[in-house]
Structure 1
Amino acid sequence: MSDLEKMLLNKKFELDAIKAPEELESKLRQALQGKHRRRQWSLSKAAAVLLVISILAYNSSTLAFYGKQLLGYEGVMDGTLLELGRLGKGQQVDKSYIFRDGMKVQLDWVMLDGNGMVIFYTIEDTTKTRNIEDQIIGVTVKAPFFNSSSSGAGKILKDEYSQKWVLTTRDVPKFFVQTIKLDLSNQLENGIWEYGEISFKLDRSEALGETIRNRINKKIDLSGRTMTIESINMSPISTVVKGEIQDIISLGLDRMKGEALMPQALEMSLYADGVLLNRLGSGMSTNINGSRFEVIFDKLPPGTKSVELVLDKISVSEKLEETYTIKEGGYIEIMGNRLDILKIERSETSTMITISTDIGTRIPGTVLIADDEEYKLVETSESTFVEFPENKFSNIRTLSFEGIGEDLKLSIRNIIYTKNYEMVVYQEALKE
C-alpha cells in the first residue's frame, strides 16, 4: 500500500467517525433548493474526488479486513502478522458453525505461505451466559496428506463471551488440495462431546509470496552423535529450521546394544545480521526412522545480509540401570548430573527423600532399595525452584516411597536432563 493510499484510508476512517447533526439534512435541502446556488466544482476537484473513490473501491477488501476481520486479534498476533494484516494479506473466509449449546466457531481469515497456514478464528458464546475461559473447544486443521500438528494462542475479549484465536500449522497443503476442513469438538455441560466442521476452498492466489528453501545438510558432532541441519526455509511469515538429531541407523544401533538416548526437545537461536529473531515455536518427533526437529522463528527482516544459527541446549531421555548408596547431606552423580540428597525422613511405613537437581533434570521410575528390599516411587511433591548466584536455579522436590529401612539406595532406571551447548552450528551470507 502506497503512502497516498494509507493517507486516504486514514482520512476515510476519520470521516466515517464524524456524526452529522440531525437538523443538517433539512438545512442542506433548503440551501440546494435556493435560487442563488451558483458554485461549481472545478475539474481538479472532480478529479480528486474520483481518485479517492477509485482508491477506496480498489481497496474495499482491505477496508473489510480492517473493519471486520482484524478486530480483536491485535493481542494474539506477533509483529509480522500485524504487518501482513495491515496490508490486507490473506484470504477472507467468513464461515461459522454453531453447536447445540450456542457455542459458535467463526472462521474469519487464512494466511498461506510455503511454511504453513495461519488460521484466524473466533469462539463465541451466543447465549452470553458462560465465561468463554471455561469452555473446551477443539479445532484441528484437516486436509489430505497433511500433518495437522499446530500451535496457537488465544485472547479473551473484554465481554468475556468471546475469544480470538490465531492457529499456525507446521505443514502446507499439497499443491493439488483445494478444500481445507476444520474439525471442531465441543464438550457439553453433560460431559458429552459434540462434533462439527467448517470447510472452505483454499484460494492459492492469495498466498503471501515466495518461500526460499535453502538446502544445507550440514552435520554437527554432538558428543559422539550426529545432528544434521537439513534446511532453512524463509517465507513472508516465518523462518523454519528443519533437521535430524538421530537417524534410523543410530536409533537401530542403540536398540541392538540395549541403549536408549532419546532427544526430548531442543532450543536454538537465530540471528539476522547479529539481531536475535523471536522464536515462535518448535517441535520434535521420534519414530522408527529416527528423531526429527523443527524450530520456527519470525521472518527475516528485509535486506538481511547474514544469518547465524546457534544450538542452545538439548533435553534428552536416557535409560540406564545404576544403583547409588545415599545419605542425608550427600550427593550422587548421574550421567554428569549432580543430585543432592537434602533430607531423608521416615514415618512408620514410608520414606521421604528430598532432592535437588538442575532445572530440567528428572528421574522417573526411580526405585528405593531399603535393606535389600525394593520399593516403587509412590509420589513426587510439587517442585520448588531456588535461585543461586550467577543466575543458576535448582529444582527441589520430595520423593515418597512406601517402605522403610536403614541401608538406603536409589536405583535409577531413567534420567531426563538438559545438555547445554551454546555453539554456532551454521552461518551464511545471503545473496542480495
Structure 2
Amino acid sequence: MNSSKNIMNQQKKDKGAKEAASPSVPEKTLKKSSGFLAGRELKPIILTVLCVVLVVVLCVGVAIQQFKPKVAVTVGDTKLTLDDMTYPIYELESTYLPYNEWYQSMSGGTIWEADYQGEAGTMSGVSNSIGWKQEILNGEVQYEILYQKAKEAKYELTEDEKKDAAEDAKEALEGLSWLQKMQLNISESKLTERFEKRALADRFKKDQQEELNKDVDEAKAIADISKEDYRQYDIQYYSAPLKTSTEEGEAKELTDDEKKELEEKMKNIASQAKTAEDFTTLIGEDETSITLEKEGKFTEKDGWSYVSDKNLKKIKKMENGAVSDVILDENYYVVVKMVNNNSEEAYKTACDDAIKTEQNSAYSTWYEKEQEKYDVVVNTDIWTDVVIGTVTTDIVTAEDLEKMKGDSSDAADGSSEE
C-alpha cells in the first residue's frame, strides 16, 4: 500500500520535473490589422493584385509589340524594317526637297507629284513619289543581295573602306540635332555599319560587272553609230538675243533702234576678233545684252538652234581658228570662232554610251537571275502606307537643309584659309 503511494508520489514528482525542464512555448497571437488591410480578408486582395499585375503585363506586351520594328521587306532570311528604310528615304527626300519650293512656283504642284522620269524598271504614268519609292525598295533589296553574295564569296572590308565608311557616317550626321537623329533612327555606329555593307556590296558588283563586260560584243554595240552623224564642231561665240523678257516673263521683240545698236556692238566685236590674241576677252563684265560661250559645240546630226540652216552651212565651212563676220539671224546676232571643225568627242561619247548600255543590260540579266534565288517578300501592310515626300521632310525641313549647307560651306572656307 505504502509502495503504491510511493510510486504514485514518484510519478507526480517525475511529471513535475519534466514540466519544469521543458519551458512552455508561448502561444502566438495575430495582431489586429490596421490601415488599408483593417477589417479586410487577404484572399480577395491578393486576387485583385494579381489581376492588376496581369493587366500591366498585357499592356506592356502590347506596347512592346507596337514599338517593335515593323518589317518592310524580307530578303531571304534577312528582315529589313521600316527603321532600316528610313535613312535611304531621307537620302532621297533631302536631295529633292530643296527644289520643291522652286518647282511649286513654276508649276503649281509639288516635285513629288510630278511625272516620274526615273529608272525604276518599266514604271510609267506614275508620280515621282511612287517611282522614287520603288527605286528605294529596289536599291535596298539589291544592296542586301549583293552584300550576302559578297559574304558568301568571302569578301572582307579593306582598311580604306572602313575608314571611308566611318568618315561618311560622321559627314551624314553633321548639322542634325539629337532629336532629328533619334527620329531618323540613325547614329554614327548604325550609319558606319550601313556604309560598310554598301562598300562591300559595291565592290562585289564592280567585280561582277568587270567579268560580265568581257562577254559584251563592243563592235556590235557601236555598229549602227554613224561617225559622220556625230561629227562635232567645237566653237566659241558671242551671241545677242533679239528678244527680251518683260517683268511678267513674256518675250518681247527688240525695237529697230535697239537692234541697230546691238548690231553695231557685234560688228565691233567681230572687227576686234580678227586681230585679238584672245577671242574670249572682247566684252566687259558690265555687258548685259551680249554673252560669251567659251565651249560651244554642235553635231552634224543635231545642228545648232541659234542660227538658220543657211547660216549653219556657212559656219560648218569655216576653217579652224577662223572668225566669222556678224551673222544677223532671225533670233540672234552671233560672232563665231571655229575651234575644231572635226572633233570626235560626240562620236566617242555615243560609242561609250552604247557599250555602257550593253554592259548594263548584261548586269541586269545576271542580277534578275540571282534575285530569283532569294525569296523577296514586301510587307504591303507596312510599305503601302509609305509616301515619299512626307516621311522625313517634317523632321529635316528645307530650311534645315539650307542651314546645314551654309554651315558646311563656312566650315570648308575656314579650313581652306588655315
| Bigger proportion of residues as helix | 2
Q: Looking at both structures, which has the greater relative contact order when contacts are Cα pairs under 8 Å and sequence separation is at least 6?
A: 2
Give the structure-1-normalised TM-score: 0.19
Greater Cα radius of gyration, structure 1 or 2: 2
| Bigger proportion of residues as strand | 1
